[in-house]
């Protein structure tokens, strides 16, 4: 079992940047598929980005070219670098991980979830 803790959220002006972190417990995190999802008020949770155990990445169309997902297996941490932020990026961002799949499913996420971190982008 793994525990996920997100950090790095906050308030930023449109056009600004934030870097989210997802720190995991456990020694085998490098073998987990990891992803980021977000949920805005009144909306369903949506996929943002994912990274496989082999470092393959994939992004939603809404963030492609602005967000970058990466992982540092030595630190058991996955990052989401968010640039050129827009007000529509405002949401609670969740990290999810799964040891049983190569990639995180786009429509459901993984077995493990963090508590979320709030990102607010002002116009």
DSSP 69-106: EEEETTTTEEEEEE-S--GGG-EEEEEEEESS-SS--T
Could you report the per-residue pLDDT of 62-99, keeping only the tens digit for each?
A: 999 999 999 999 999 999 999 999 999 999 999 999 99
Confidence tier at 35 by pLDDT (50, 70, 90): very high
d(CA 26, CA 2): 6
Cβ atoms of 111 and 99 within 8 Å: the answer is yes
């Amino acid at each position: 079992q793994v525990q996920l803790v997100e950090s790095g959220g906050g308030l930023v002006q449109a056009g600004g940047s934030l870097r989210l972190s997802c720190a995991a417990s456990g020694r085998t995190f490098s073998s987990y598929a990891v992803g980021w999802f977000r949920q805005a008020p009144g909306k369903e949770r949506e996929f943002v980005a994912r990274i496989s155990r082999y470092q393959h990445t994939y992004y939603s169309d809404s963030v492609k070219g602005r967000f970058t997902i990466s992982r540092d297996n030595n630190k058991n941490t996955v990052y989401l670098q968010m640039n050129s932020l827009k007000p529509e990026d405002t949401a609670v961002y969740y990290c999810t991980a799964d040891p049983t799949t190569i990639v995180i499913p786009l429509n459901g996420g993984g077995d493990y979830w963090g508590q979320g971190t709030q990102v607010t982008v002002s116009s």
